Amino acid sequence: MAAVCTVANVDNEGKVQIRTLVLRNVDDDLAIFINATSPKWTALQNTFSVQTYWPSVSLQYRLQVSSVQIEKELVHDSWQMRPDVPKRMDWLYQQHRGQSSTVDSRQALLDLLDEVSLPEPLSAPEHASGLRLLPHEIERLDLSQDNGVHDRRRYRLIQDQWTVTTLVP
């Protein structure tokens, strides 16, 4: 579960959006890679929330983060390590339909995917993007206490210093 996170934000219509994304480590920063054709791209340009849960050690982390776009060269290098189908999907977004657009059916989607032409040499499309996640607040909830009382702490970044506060779970 450490490789995925849940991202929550409020969209342009005021609706809460929650989604699961792959969480990456980029130069000691947490990061997510997404396609800029996705509606979430614009929504995640500001402050939003990220949650991870690690069931093997019974830990939950909730982060309030801001984001900074990852350098294109790093995105393109990382993109080469993606599995084949996600690479084709990125090119589908570029050539046919943006992410979250509608199609007539699943079969229509698969047909579109078959029509994708990949460049030679294979490279990332223009809209392949990523965001570094810069936490300014982290809540850690440890559910594994022997006495049954969860250990909950909040860490806040204030003037380049992390402060910690114990919270009632």
pLDDT tens for 146-155 read 999 999 999 9
Kindly report, residue by residue over 79-134, the tens digit of the pLDDT: 998 899 999 999 999 999 988 899 999 999 999 999 999 999 999 999 999 999 99
Enter the CATH code of domain 4-83+125-167. Answer: 2.30.110.10
Rounded to whole angstroms, the Cα distance separating 13 from 3 reads 30
Kindly report, residue by residue over 24-76, the tens digit of the pLDDT: 988 889 999 988 988 888 888 888 999 999 999 999 999 999 999 999 999 99
Cβ neighbours of residue 63 under 8 Å, at least 6 residues apart?
Answer: 30, 49, 50, 51, 133, 135, 137, 138, 139
DSSP for residue 124: -
pLDDT value at residue 26:
87
- pTM beyond cutoff 0.75: yes
pLDDT value at residue 9:
87
C-alpha count within 13 angstroms, C-beta hemisphere, residue 129? 20
Quickly list H helices, the chain: 39-43, 72-79, 84-95, 106-115
pLDDT value at residue 13:
85
pLDDT value at residue 135:
96
